[in-house]
Amino acid sequence: MNKDIEIYNLIDSYLRSELSSTELADFKHRRSIDPGFDLMVVEHENLVGYLKEYGDRVQLTSEMNAIYQEIDVEALKREVQPELPVVRKMWDKYRVSAAIAAIVAMIAVFGTLFSTGYFTEKISNNYLRRKLSSIERSQNAINKKLTDKPSIGPINPGQFGGTGFAITSNGYIVTNYHVVKDADSIYVQNSAGESYKAKQIYIDPTYDLAVLQIIDPAFKDLASLPYTFKKSASSVAESVYTVGFPKDDLVYNEGYVSSSNGYEGDTVAYQVSIPVNPGNSGGPLLDNRGNVVGIINRKQTLVDGVAFAVKSSYLLKSIEAIPQDSLEDKLILNKRNQLSGLKPSEQYDKLKPYIFMVKVY
């Protein structure tokens, strides 16, 4: 654990621009060759950003409450002009000082937590994720109260993008384009909790598809894929299921194809009656014979249990469009199905190693 503390102290020095030119060069070199260290830097930087932003909002709320106490409400009611211009003037007057004070306060708090050893027994990826989620929920609550106020700064997009699944055993993964759009860094995490650095090698915004490649030296090739990719269309009322990461754990859901077309008649997708959440985006949709028939890419926000999935035939078209000479490793799809005839629980067990949480930064 002392080693973790030393690493986070080093990262803090980097974030505060306190490293010498030699130390900075060594730091950047270490990030380039050590994906695990790079992930720690990204996660710690996100945590610091969350804390700063949370401090901004807490301080802003305090300042606004103080301003409200100074306002003579009864006098304002007697004024011909409405309240809003008065509040806006005060907001413009105080928001800069509030933001600066909040940032200084949160940096001081964060430094105190480390210096007192608060994190010595709790530093772990899961712990950081829980803290980030808690802070994010607090931010959302404050945002609801301040929806008519200007934003102090950009909202951190968070670290969880969605789901992806292997299309080959040698590290190629498919997910939705909207999951990884504008990402600076991409990591994929398997059901065992092992994270690997990945990069985009092909995107198809038209079909909302993105093909990733794991580039982490710690990654070992998977066993042969147990599923295949269906070329023909699936029938309405056909039973299907999906496996994905709507939360930290892998989740299995069953349903059926409810329409041969997607939202507003979109022929690229199926409409599926199946419970999904945003984290399911990019996950596979399979029939009960173990064929991938689609890729979950959105849900109907106004109706529970209705989702849409890009048809597998469009995934195959996207894969065929990738220039093979641009790839470092061959991308060859599996043609042997190992799931047909197995019970759902047995299919799920075989699928688990091939489904990944896609984390974007």
Contact present, 358 and 162 (Cβ < 8 Å) = yes
Active site residues: 178, 208, 281
Nearest C-alpha neighbor of 110 from the set 209, 58, 27, 44: 44
| Shared-domain flag, residues 107 and 172 | no
Question: What is the pLDDT confidence band of residue 77, given thresholds at 50, 70 and 90?
Answer: low
Structural domain includes residue 228? yes
Q: In this predicted structure, what is the pLDDT of residue 324?
A: 85
Q: Minimum mean pLDDT among 2-11, 240-249, 260-269, 341-350: which range?
A: 2-11
Structural domain includes residue 17? yes
Contact present, 64 and 56 (Cβ < 8 Å) = no
In the block, tokens 């304002």 appear at 76
Please state the domain count of the chain: 2
| Shared-domain flag, residues 185 and 282 | yes
| Shared-domain flag, residues 164 and 140 | no
Question: What is the pLDDT confidence band of residue 122, given thresholds at 50, 70 and 90?
Answer: very low
Nearest C-alpha neighbor of 175 from the set 209, 147, 220: 209
Structural domain includes residue 152? no
Q: In this predicted structure, what is the pLDDT of residue 231?
A: 94
How far apart CA 252 and CA 267 sit, in angstroms, is: 26
Structural domain includes residue 172? yes
| Shared-domain flag, residues 240 and 309 | yes
Structural domain includes residue 154? no
Contact present, 270 and 306 (Cβ < 8 Å) = no
Write down which residue in 114, 145, 176 finishes a domain: 145
Write down which residue in 82, 111, 145 finishes a domain: 145
Structural domain includes residue 223? yes
Nearest C-alpha neighbor of 286 from the set 336, 231, 243: 243
* Pair type for strands 239-244 and 228-229: unpaired
Query: Is the pTM value of this prediction over 0.75?
Result: no
Q: Is the pLDDT of residue 158 over 80?
A: no
| Shared-domain flag, residues 204 and 253 | yes
Burial class of 167 by CB neighbour count within 10 A (0 to 12, 13 to 18, 19+)? buried
Question: What is the pLDDT confidence band of residue 227, given thresholds at 50, 70 and 90?
Answer: very high
Span 181-206, pLDDT tens digits: 989 899 999 999 999 999 999 999 99
Nearest C-alpha neighbor of 132 from the set 148, 112, 156: 156
| Shared-domain flag, residues 108 and 201 | no
What CATH number should be reported for the domain holding residue 312?
A: 2.40.10.120
Structural domain includes residue 74? yes
Q: In this predicted structure, what is the pLDDT of residue 108?
A: 58
Report the interhelical angle of 84-115 vs 2-15 (nearest 10°).
140
Question: What is the pLDDT confidence band of residue 240, given thresholds at 50, 70 and 90?
Answer: very high
Nearest C-alpha neighbor of 197 from the set 356, 23, 310, 14: 356
For a pLDDT cut of 70, what percent of the chain falls above it? 74
Contacts of 305 (CB under 8 A, 6+ apart): 255, 273, 274, 275
| Shared-domain flag, residues 194 and 222 | yes
| Shared-domain flag, residues 117 and 179 | no
| Shared-domain flag, residues 179 and 141 | no
Contact present, 257 and 234 (Cβ < 8 Å) = yes
Structural domain includes residue 155? no
Q: In this predicted structure, what is the pLDDT of residue 209?
A: 97
**Alpha carbon 48 to chain centroid distance?**
18
| Shared-domain flag, residues 109 and 22 | yes
What's the domain range around 66?
2-145
How far apart CA 24 and CA 17 sit, in angstroms, is: 9
Q: Is the pLDDT of residue 111 over 80?
A: no
| Shared-domain flag, residues 77 and 215 | no
Average pLDDT of the residues in 269-295:
95
Write down which residue in 81, 114, 145 finishes a domain: 145
| Shared-domain flag, residues 190 and 322 | yes
Q: In this predicted structure, what is the pLDDT of residue 194?
A: 94
